[in-house]
Amino acid sequence: MTPDGISTDDWDRVHEVVVEVVNASAIEDNVLCDHYKERLFGILDELESIYGRIPGVLATRADFTDEPTVAIALHEEALAVAIDPISSRLSLQSLIRLKIDGRHDETSTATLLLELERLTDTDRSSSDLDELRELQTDFERTKRRKNVSILTPDPRV
C-alpha cells in the first residue's frame, strides 16, 4: 500500500505503465510514448474515482504532464492534501525541479527547498539527501546565472 492508501495491486498497474512510458521515451518513440501516457492517465482517472484526489495520483499525473504550469498546479495540490512526509517529499522534489527549470520566483523556490530539507533525513546518506543537495546546487547555479545576466550589459545596445 502506498503512504496515501492506494492498494499495492492498484499501484502495480500504475508502475507497469510508467515503465512502458519511460522505455518508449528512452527509444524516442513519441507515438508509443503518447500511447502509454494515455493509458497511464486512464488508470489515474480510474484511481482518482476510487481514492479521490490524493497525492500519489496527483503527483504521478503531474510527473507525466507535458505542460509545466499544469504540472506545478498538480504538485501544489498534492502538497496541500498530503498527510504523510513521503508524499510531501516526493511532490516537493518534483515541484522544486519544475520551478528551477522554469526560473520561477526565487523566494518561493527557496521556501520550498527549506521545507524539503526539513522533510529529508540529513543525518545519513540516501538518495533523498542526494536529490536535496542536487536541487540546492542547481538552484544556486540558476540564481548566479540570472544575476550575471542582469549585471552583464547587452552588447547590442
Q: What is the mean pLDDT of residues 35-63?
A: 97
Residue 72 near residue 96, CB atoms below 8 Å: no
Residue 53 near residue 34, CB atoms below 8 Å: no
Rounded distance between C-alpha atoms, residue 132 and residue 96, angstroms: 10
- The residue assigned the cell 495540490 is 77
Q: What is the pLDDT of residues 69-112, one digit of tens each?
A: 999 999 999 999 999 999 999 999 999 999 999 988 899 999 99
Among 5, 120, 96, which residue's Cα sits nearest to residue 54?
5
**What pTM value is reported for the model?**
0.85
Q: Where are the domains of the chain?
A: 8-151
CATH, range 8-151: 1.25.40.10
Q: What is the pLDDT of residues 108-133, one digit of tens each?
A: 999 999 999 999 987 766 889 999 99
Q: What is the pLDDT of residues 15-38, one digit of tens each?
A: 999 999 999 999 999 999 999 999
